[in-house]
Amino acid sequence: MRYLPGLCFFLVLVQGMSCTTINISNYYRKNQSTLDSIEETFRVAYAQKPFSIEFTDRPFNRLSLELITDTLTYIYEYNVGEPRLQDTLLRYGYDTAAINSIITNMRSMECTWVDNLNYWTYPDVKKHTLIYIPL
Amino acid sequence: MNITYALLAGLLLFCSRLTATPPSTPKEALDLLEKTELPDSSKFWPNVRRDLFVGNLKANITAPLAIYQGSNTNFCGYAALSYLPLHDDPLTYTRFMIELFVKGTATWGKIVFTPSREVHRAAGTLRFKGILDIRPADQMWFLILADHFRSYLNFFWPRFKPGAEDTFWAAVNYGKFNRMIRDLIGYEVDATGSDIFRPHFKDLYGYLTERLKTGYTYLYVNNTYLHKKNHDKGRFRNSFPTHFIVLSSIQKADNDPESDLVDIVYWDYGGRTLRQVSLRFLKKIIFGVTHCGPPSTIK
């Protein structure tokens, strides 16, 4: 019993250290223009040719690019600013300006991923899409 | 004369085993589906609509690569397993699914599937899983496989509850996956690996290249590294295999025999992916290699 306060303090300390929480509404209000820009640019570029982008490390220096075609999905990894990235985008016919803008904005916002999710509603069996941008 | 005939017959048998002609074709499966009269609805599957069910089966037969496990579910082992019947024996698959729809239970080989009432109710109701939302036949198929085949991973999740498709109720460990191939499909299985320890390969590239020459090759991998971001703080989650992929090809990048980089083409999540990885990375994520095929066709 005499260890209880110490134990409680330890648990609170562990809880406090184990995760960081973000108030997502405040975050969105603060960065609305950049986040909306990522969403809109992605929506237009995705409609031309589907793709997704994710950052694979904490310092946001390394990114993985998923290029989706009818027969095959290509996944390549690059360092940010690597010329090979631009070559790949040009080779597969992607809008380089749009994708570079998304990458820059994702880095500044520390967004880890941008992708498109399809879902359906019933009973009309209607398809909807959702762009998700995890932090 | 008799010896010549015997030799010829032996040669033919040998060749037929080597080429391993699939037991049925997509056309046979489509013909069966076309001529079978299905009821508008099934009393066993209250949430499965006939039009979506038939459309789903047709899609699986004509485009077997497109079968999709659903976002965030633990159905990847069952989806990977489906690769075999959909490619090699779509007729048996279609017959089984029709029987399941009409009778609520069905038999595949010696295995009798008798889904629980919860599973009957759940099929057709899974949502926000991508295209699996409108694939009731796939929902039935994945759910009955998870309901029937159990292993130690499923011990604390014995019965289906809403949302169980995302939990350990549906999880597939390596032993269970190989058992499903042997028991359900009847294929010979040559498996190397485990759930916890990575197998040692002296020459991984040579090993996989050799496996790809016959049958099908599955890799049991750590999906956290393969698909998701490395931002997760938990080392525990990052240490175990969670995903099955079907390996189609492996080649040294730029055809350079000295290169550590390889281009792998694999199937998962309803499509084929080409990805360039280092052999070092590949060794790190592989926990099992399963090589399988009809008896006597794999070396």
Q: What is the DSSP string of B122-182?
A: HTT---SBTBGGG-HHHHHHHHHHHHH---GGGTT--S--TTGGGSGGG---HHHHHHHII
For residue A68, which of A115, A103, A113, A104 has the smallest C-alpha distance?
A115
pLDDT over 60 at B17, yes or no: no
Write out pLDDT tens, residues A17-69: 445 567 888 989 999 999 999 999 999 999 999 999 999 888 999 999 999 99
pLDDT at B27: 97
Let me know: does A65 contact A114? Beta carbons within 8 Å: no
Banded pLDDT at B230 (limits 50, 70, 90): very low
**Residue, of B233 and B52, whose pLDDT is higher:** B52
Which residues of chain B does A110 touch, with a Cβ-Cβ cutoff of 8 Å?
A: none
Q: What proportion of chain B, given as a percentage, has pLDDT over 70? A: 87
| pLDDT at residue B234, as a whole number | 46
To test the contact with chain B by mutation, choose from A122, A126, A133, A135 the residue with the greatest count of B C-beta atoms within 10 A, namely A122
Model pLDDT for residues B54-89, shown as the tens digit of each residue: 999 999 999 999 999 998 899 999 999 999 999 999
Q: Look at residue B141 and tell me whether its pLDDT is greater than 50.
A: yes
| Per-residue pLDDT band at B26 (split at 50, 70, 90) | very high
Whether B229 sits inside 8 A of A54 (CB atoms) is yes
Q: Say if the Cβ atoms of A119 and B133 lie within 8 Å.
A: yes
In terms of CA atoms, which chain B residue is nearest residue A54?
B229
Token duo for residue B103? 């009778």
Judge whether residue A74 has pLDDT over 60: yes
pLDDT of amino acid B225: 65
pLDDT of residue B227: 59
pLDDT, residue B254, reads 79
- Which pLDDT value is given to residue B290? 98
The two three-digit tokens of residue A79, written as one number: 């360092």
- Residues 6+ positions from A73 with CB-CB distance below 8 Å: A66, A67, B271, B272, B273, B274
Model pLDDT, residue A56: 86
Is 60 exceeded by the pLDDT of residue A133?
Answer: yes
Query: A63: nearest CA in chain B?
Result: B229
Chain B nearest-CA residue for A126: B134
User: Which residues of B fall below an 8 Å CB-CB distance to A?
Assistant: 52, 71, 127-131, 133-134, 229-231, 265, 271-276
Confidence of residue B123 (pLDDT cuts 50, 70, 90): very high
Helix or strand run (H / E) with residue B189: strand B188-193
Cβ–Cβ below 8 Å for A74 and B274: yes
Contact check, Cβ <8 Å, A125/B265 = no
Backbone angles phi, psi at B154, to 5 degrees: -95, 5
Instruction: Using the CB atoms, write b or e for B228-260: b if 16+ within 10 Å.
Output: beebeeeeeeeeebbbbbbbeebebeeeeeeee
State the pLDDT at residue A18: 47
Peptide linkage before A123 cis (omega within 30 of 0): yes
pLDDT for residue B238:
57
How far is it, in rounded angstroms, from Cα A43 to Cα A50? Answer: 9
The answer to whether the CB atoms of A57 and B275 lie below 8 A apart is no
List C-alpha distances in Å: A95 to A108, A116, B135, B185.
Answer: 20, 17, 33, 46
The yes-or-no verdict on residue B4 having pLDDT over 90 is: no
Distance CA A129, CA B93 (A): 31
Please report the sign of the dihedral spanned by the C-alpha atoms of residue B281, residue B285, residue B288, residue B290. Answer: negative
Bigger pLDDT: B273 vs B19: B273
d(CA B192, CA B207): 11
Q: For residue range A92-126, what is the model confidence (pLDDT) as tens digits? A: 999 999 999 999 999 999 999 999 988 988 888 89
What pLDDT does residue B259 have? 85
Average pLDDT of B213-236? Answer: 71
Cβ-Cβ contacts under 8 Å, B128 against chain A? 119
- Is B127–A119 a contact, with Cβ atoms under 8 angstroms apart? yes
Q: For B248-257, which contacts have Cβ atoms below 8 Å and span 24 or more sequence positions?
A: B248/B212, B248/B272, B249/B212, B250/B205, B250/B208, B250/B209, B250/B212, B252/B205
